[in-house]
Amino acid sequence: MDIYTALIHHPVLDKRGATVTTAVTNLDIHDLARASRSYGVRGYYVVTPIAQQRSLVSRIAAHWRQGQGRQFNPVRAEAFETVRVASSLAAAIDDIAQETGQRPITVATGAAIDTGHISYEALRQRLLTEEGACLVTFGTGWGLTSDAMEAMTLRLPGVHAVDGRDGYNHLSVRSAVAIILDRLLGARAPAPR
Ligand code: SAM
């Protein structure tokens, strides 16, 4: 499958559980672009309904793709080739459908997902063996809204430590993206001979 990632800035939750729109942060653009490129993700969508924020992301991407950023760091330019903007999740889905000829399966992530999910291994097998496209979505703020999650095709279980070492589960989205992409698309060390 063609894999895509999306960082959702609306609709997401705030600490009181209200649905809000969060601001795009430069660190999330860079780090998720680098993680996405490292795992062969075809496109990384920064999703925000705020037009000024989309044009900010486009300016940052242009700087690193062909501006002074490229001269300064061509490796980062390659990561920025994955960066795209979309006004909504639906717009990102339409973009992918246009590019691949079919609508992607959509996957929700979140620390608190512990029911109704597909295992990482099962999704990994689908990604590595099936045709089509898959869009793995990540939230900001206090996470994706339940409505947003319910509208998605699949859900992945929350990442957490083994029993006895868990209890604090507040990964940054940057850490969560790297962990989840590695579980889905990371090379597995060959079994010891
Ligand atoms: N803890 C909240 C959550 O995960 O929903 C806060 C959101 S966190 C700042 C932003 C995003 O990172 C989440 O929407 C999710 O996509 C991802 N994330 C954070 N911790 C995660 C975990 N333990 N398991 C899976 N995804 C996680």
158 CB near ligand 1 (under 6 Å): yes
Q: Could you tell me if the CB of 5 is within 6 A of ligand 1?
A: no
Contact 41, 181 (CB under 8 A): yes
The answer to whether the CB of 11 is under 6 A from ligand 1 is no
pLDDT one digit per residue (tens) for the chain, 193 residues:
999 999 999 999 999 999 999 999 999 999 999 999 999 999 999 999 999 999 999 999 999 999 899 999 999 999 999 999 999 999 999 999 999 999 999 999 999 999 999 999 999 999 999 999 999 999 999 999 999 999 999 999 999 999 998 889 899 999 999 999 999 999 998 877 7
Q: Are 127 and 173 in contact, with CB atoms under 8 Å apart?
A: no
CA 33 to chain CA mean position, Å: 9
Which residues are paired to 108 by β-bridges?
155
State the pLDDT at residue 192.
78
Q: List C-alpha distances in Å: 22 to 8, 9, 101, 146.
A: 9, 5, 31, 17
How far is ligand 1, taken at its centre, from the CA of residue 180, in Å?
11
Q: What is the pLDDT of residue 166?
A: 84
Helix residue ranges per DSSP H, the chain = 26-38, 51-66, 68-72, 74-80, 89-100, 120-129, 146-150, 173-185
Q: What's the rounded Cα separation, in Å, for the pair 86 and 84?
A: 7
Residue 129: how many CB atoms within 10 A of its CB? Answer: 8
Give the model's pLDDT for residue 45.
Answer: 98
Contact indicator for 110, 143 with CB cutoff of 8 Å: yes
Q: Which residue out of 8, 171, 182, 184 has the highest number of ligand 1 atoms within 8 Å of its CB and is therefore the one to mutate? A: 171
CB of 139 closer than 6 angstroms to any ligand 1 atom = yes
d(CA 122, CA 124): 5
CA distance 122 to 42: 21
